């Protein structure tokens, strides 16, 4: 073999090596961490699932832009539940068995979450739900967490405020679905603790066109205030009926209507209505010392810039879930048990829905500061009880 | 006393709505012997069209009203022409099932066009609610009642005094005999579908200001309207009015004296009772054997 041939052989041997070296960052980079997302992206509850999906994608982009977690990039695998429990179970099975995700964020609803809780427990996959129902984390299940505020907090925020207003007797009007039932239960059980009495409890169907009969009954019980618990459009009809019947006592609504749509539906009947809400609706009115103010500002600006749609009050649940998960995943090398244990240790995480303090016995982690009281004034939200 | 009056007024408000929908059922039944389960969807289309035309396109109210009603009538005519007439064996049960299918289709199309959100509009006249002895009555309910009475009077006139009206009734009593007498039964059925769809749309236009309108509002309203028509006696225009008001008032009293969670149950229980005692409905004398 001549020296020329030798050289050629050496070059041929070196070339692939050079190729490997050039491609090295890609080859040497660690395998991405897969995160499962289960949201009702379509269907009647898409108003929850769609912003949640967008927020999860946004949070993952943020984390990857900062170099991922311990060098692992994150990858979202999202399945649409359509708000149906059967589809949620199918989606969760696929995420766990085929995609081998490290953790699941979602689903968007209490009922879809409950449908996959047994699966998450059995397969030992951390599940961070975006639904509100208290039964998700109470009693505490080792592998199940949630980021949305519970009804319990919404009710105590209202009653706390009423106590200051010296309101003693309330009439409640709740919608006939799981949201309304849960609200009714909380309103009735917590009342005594705040020295409040529920003098009349009525309900309405989600598609009823007129609630004046129920309101007549409530009015005759002479309450100091009326609390309506439902999601659009029922509560807007209630607000209108109260205006038409010129009932003078204040009307409180639930966080279920904390969206601009409610003001649009109720029109001038929305004037003066009080309701609890996450801080996202009034982020600009928050005091500068509020630790959530900066987080909310960044989230809202980024979201509106990226998706060109107004921010929703619900996407934050998935955003919080992803950032909490990212914190917990650091240094675990993708070990699910370690992630779970780390989640339970997170303290003082300032998110969109409030400040999270998890522990072995607290898997929602939000405190009373997760809700603020708002009043609708001139078709705008006004923050109550905070000094600027 | 004040409460009782208020329950009564609340009942009139929802009852007038049921009555106007029941009239649509009755009209079509009288002319063709058919029950159209897409009637509730015509109501929904009327309400949503009004919202688009009046609130979004800012057309004057009378024009928006007419356009919405005519538009929905066209949908009714299309339904008859495309789905009803083309059936090879027009057995009543087949036709009824077709209308159920049509209602699902219309609901789906409306969802695509208007989305899943609910909409609201202000009432026709800006009068404050009327207060009588401490109970309040909405001016919009009076609007509805007045138009319901107008429709009933119009229908009576149509059936008794016009040739077309008489021909239409003849068709429903015996189609073959009517066509032997030179009545074009197909065009009569077409007309009946158009008019009953228009009446559904009128109902929708009237109730849009008192409640929230969305693509899924038609199902429950259609069902309540159907009950009102049954209660009053299918085929009787006055029966539709009486049945609608009675259903509304019963519901409202049910809330007042029992419980709001039993509201629908009480109304339907009474419906069953009345139908058991008087199968032809309160004011129905003939009709039932025809279906």
Domain spans of chain B, in order of start: 2-119+132-290
Give me the mean pLDDT over the A315-320 stretch: 94
The count of other CB atoms within 10 Å of the CB of residue B109 is 14
Provide the pLDDT confidence category of residue B290 given band limits of 50, 70 and 90: very low
Give me the mean pLDDT over the B16-27 stretch: 90
| Cα–Cα distances in angstroms (integers) from residue B171 to residues A144, A214, B28, B90, in the given order | 66, 46, 12, 15
Of B7, B17, B217, the CB nearest to A216: B7
Q: What is the dihedral of CA A287, A292, A297, A298, to 10 degrees?
A: 150
The CATH code of domain B2-119+132-290 reads 1.10.3470
Contact across the interface for B217 and A207, Cβ inside 8 Å: yes
SS3 A208: coil
Of B211, B256, B261, the CB nearest to A203: B261
Question: Which candidate, B242, B245, B239, B250, places its Cα nearest to that of B272?
Answer: B250
Lowest model confidence (mean pLDDT) among A33-42, A360-369, B46-55, B85-94: B85-94
pLDDT tens, residue by residue, B101-148: 999 999 999 988 988 778 888 877 777 788 887 788 888 888 888 988
Whether the ω angle into residue A139 lies within 30 degrees of 0, i.e. cis, is yes
Lookup: tokens for A6: 């030798």
Contact across the interface for B214 and A202, Cβ inside 8 Å: no
Which residues 6+ apart lie within 8 Å of B154 measured at CB?
none
Residues of B in CB contact (< 8 Å) with A are 3, 6-7, 9-11, 13-14, 17, 116-120, 122, 129, 131, 135-136, 138, 207, 210-212, 214, 216-217, 219-221, 251-252, 255-256, 259-261, 263-264
Contact across the interface for A216 and B3, Cβ inside 8 Å: yes
pLDDT tens, residue by residue, A65-109: 999 999 899 999 999 998 889 999 999 999 999 999 999 998 998
Give me the mean pLDDT over the B58-62 stretch: 88
**Is A209:B207 a contact under the CB 8 Å cutoff?**
yes
Residues of A in CB contact (< 8 Å) with B are 44, 46-47, 176, 202-205, 207, 209-210, 212-214, 216-217, 220, 232-233, 236-237, 244-246, 261, 264-267
The CATH code of domain A33-148+293-357 reads 3.40.50.2300
- B14 has a pLDDT exceeding 50: yes
Domain spans of chain A, in order of start: 33-148+293-357, 152-277+372-383
**Is B193:B245 a contact under the CB 8 Å cutoff?**
no
Could you give the CA distance from residue B31 to residue B187 in angstroms, rounded to a whole number?
11
Shortest alpha-carbon distance between residue A245 and chain B (Å): 6
Compare all CA atoms of chain A with the CA of B224 and give the residue at the minimum distance. Answer: A208
Contact across the interface for B255 and A217, Cβ inside 8 Å: yes
The radius of gyration of chain B's CA atoms, rounded to the nearest angstrom, is: 19
Which residues 6+ apart lie within 8 Å of A132 measured at CB?
A110, A148, A149, A150, A151
Say what the pLDDT of residue B287 is.
44
Say what the pLDDT of residue A14 is.
67
Say what the pLDDT of residue B288 is.
45
Shortest alpha-carbon distance between residue B103 and chain A (Å): 17
Question: A-chain residues within 8 Å CB-CB of B116?
Answer: 44, 46-47
Could you give the CA distance from residue A365 to residue A383 in angstroms, rounded to a whole number?
23
Question: B-chain residues within 8 Å CB-CB of A205?
Answer: 220, 263-264
Residue in the block written with tokens 């389960």: B37
SS3 B161: helix
**DSSP alpha helix (H) spans, chain A:** 3-28, 46-65, 85-97, 110-123, 151-164, 178-191, 212-220, 234-244, 260-266, 292-307, 316-329, 336-344
Residue in the block written with tokens 């709505």: B17
pLDDT tens, residue by residue, A248-272: 899 999 988 888 888 888 888 899 9
| Cα–Cα distances in angstroms (integers) from residue B173 to residues A175, B32, B167, B170, in the given order | 46, 8, 10, 5
Could you give the CA distance from residue B103 to residue B109 in angstroms, rounded to a whole number?
10
The count of other CB atoms within 10 Å of the CB of residue A182 is 21
The radius of gyration of chain A's CA atoms, rounded to the nearest angstrom, is: 25
Residue A373 dihedral angles phi and psi, to the nearest 5°: -90, 135
Shortest alpha-carbon distance between residue A388 and chain B (Å): 35
Length of chain A: 388
Comparison of pLDDT for B288 and A165, the residue scoring more: A165
Residue A277 dihedral angles phi and psi, to the nearest 5°: -155, 160
Assess: ipTM above 0.85. Answer: no
Could you give the CA distance from residue A370 to residue A378 in angstroms, rounded to a whole number?
25
Comparison of pLDDT for B169 and B194, the residue scoring more: B194
Of A44, A210, A245, the CB nearest to B14: A210
Q: In chain A, how long is the greatest CA-to-CA distance?
A: 110
Over pLDDT 90: what percentage of chain A?
Answer: 61
Q: What CATH topology corresponds to A152-277+372-383?
A: Rossmann fold (3.40.50)
What is the enclosing helix (H) or strand (E) of B62?
helix B61-79
Say what the pLDDT of residue B110 is.
92
Whether the ω angle into residue A187 lies within 30 degrees of 0, i.e. cis, is no
Lowest model confidence (mean pLDDT) among A144-153, B80-89, B145-154: B80-89
* Mutation site for A-interface testing, chosen from B212, B228, B252 by largest number of A Cβ within 10 Å: B212
Say what the pLDDT of residue A181 is.
87
8-state DSSP, A206 = T
pLDDT tens, residue by residue, A39-76: 999 877 888 899 999 999 999 999 999 999 998 999 99
pLDDT tens, residue by residue, B171-207: 888 888 888 888 888 888 899 999 999 999 999 998 8
Lookup: tokens for B48: 């949503």
Over pLDDT 70: what percentage of chain A?
Answer: 93
């Amino acid at each position: 073999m001549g020296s020329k041939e030798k050289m050629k052989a050496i070059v041929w041997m070196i070339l692939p090596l050079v190729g490997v070296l050039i491609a090295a960052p890609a080859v040497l980079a660690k395998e991405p961490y897969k995160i499962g997302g289960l949201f009702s992206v379509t269907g009647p509850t898409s108003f929850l699932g769609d912003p949640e999906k967008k927020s999860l994608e946004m949070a993952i982009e943020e984390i990857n832009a900062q170099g991922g977690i311990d060098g692992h990039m994150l990858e979202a695998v999202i399945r649409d539940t359509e708000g149906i429990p059967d589809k949620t179970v199918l989606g969760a099975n696929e995420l766990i068995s085929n995609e081998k995700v490290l953790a699941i964020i979602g689903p968007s609803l209490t009922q879809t979450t409950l449908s996959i809780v047994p699966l998450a427990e059995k397969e030992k996959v951390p599940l961070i739900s975006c639904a509100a129902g208290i039964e998700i984390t109470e009693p505490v299940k080792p592998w199940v967490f949630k980021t949305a505020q519970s009804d319990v907090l919404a009710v105590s925020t209202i009653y706390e405020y009423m106590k200051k207003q010296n309101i003693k007797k309330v009439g409640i009007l709740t919608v006939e679905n799981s949201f309304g039932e849960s609200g009714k239960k909380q309103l009735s059980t917590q009342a005594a603790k705040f020295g409040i009495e529920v003098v009349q409890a009525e309900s309405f169907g989600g598609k009823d066109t007129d609630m004046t009969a129920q309101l007549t009954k409530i009015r005759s019980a002479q309450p100091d205030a009326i609390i309506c618990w439902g999601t659009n459009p029922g509560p807007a009809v209630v607000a209108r009926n109260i205006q038409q019947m010129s009932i003078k006592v204040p009307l409180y609504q639930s966080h279920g209507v904390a969206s601009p749509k409610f003001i649009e539906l109720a029109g001038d009947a929305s004037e003066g209505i009080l309701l609890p809400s996450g801080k996202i609706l009034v982020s600009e009115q928050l005091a500068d010392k509020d630790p959530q103010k900066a987080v909310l500002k960044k989230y809202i600006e980024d979201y509106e810039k990226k998706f060109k749609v107004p921010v929703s009050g619900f996407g934050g649940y998935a955003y919080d879930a992803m950032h909490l998960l990212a914190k917990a995943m650091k240094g675990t090398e993708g070990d699910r048990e370690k992630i779970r244990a780390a989640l339970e240790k997170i303290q003082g995480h300032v998110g969109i829905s409030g400040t999270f303090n998890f522990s072995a016995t607290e898997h929602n982690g939000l405190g009373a500061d997760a809700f603020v009281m708002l009043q609708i004034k001139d078709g705008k939200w006004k923050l109550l009880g905070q000094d600027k | 006393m004040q409460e009782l009056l208020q329950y009564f007024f609340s009942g009139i408000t929802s009852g007038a709505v049921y009555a106007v929908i029941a009239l649509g059922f009755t009209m079509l039944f009288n002319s063709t012997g058919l029950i159209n389960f897409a009637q509730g969807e015509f109501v929904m289309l009327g309400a949503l069209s009004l919202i688009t035309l009046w609130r979004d396109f800012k057309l004057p109210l009378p024009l928006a009203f007419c356009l919405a009603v005519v538009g929905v009538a066209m949908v009714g005519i299309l339904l008859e022409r495309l789905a009803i007439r083309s059936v090879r064996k027009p057995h009543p049960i087949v036709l009824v099932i077709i209308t159920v299918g049509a209602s699902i289709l219309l609901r789906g199309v409306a969802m695509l066009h208007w989305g899943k959100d609910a909409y609201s509009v202000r009432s026709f006249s800006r009068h404050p609610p009327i207060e009588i002895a401490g109970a309040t009555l909405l001016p919009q309910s009076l609007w509805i009642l007045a138009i319901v009475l107008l429709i009933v009077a119009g229908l009576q006139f149509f059936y008794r005094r016009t040739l077309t009206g008489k021909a239409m009734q003849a068709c429903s009593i015996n189609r073959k005999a009517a066509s032997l007498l030179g009545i074009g039964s197909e065009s009569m059925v077409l007309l009946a579908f158009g008019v009953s769809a228009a009446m559904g749309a009128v109902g929708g236009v009237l109730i849009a200001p008192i409640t929230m309108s969305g693509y899924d509002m038609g199902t429950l309203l259609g069902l309540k309207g159907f009950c009102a028509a049954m209660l009053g006696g299918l085929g009787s225009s006055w029966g539709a009015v009486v049945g609608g008001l009675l259903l509304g008032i019963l519901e409202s009293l049910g809330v007042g004296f029992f419980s709001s969670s039993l509201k629908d149950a009480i109304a339907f229980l009474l419906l069953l009772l009345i139908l058991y005692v008087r199968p032809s409905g309160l004011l129905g004398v003939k009709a039932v054997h025809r279906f």
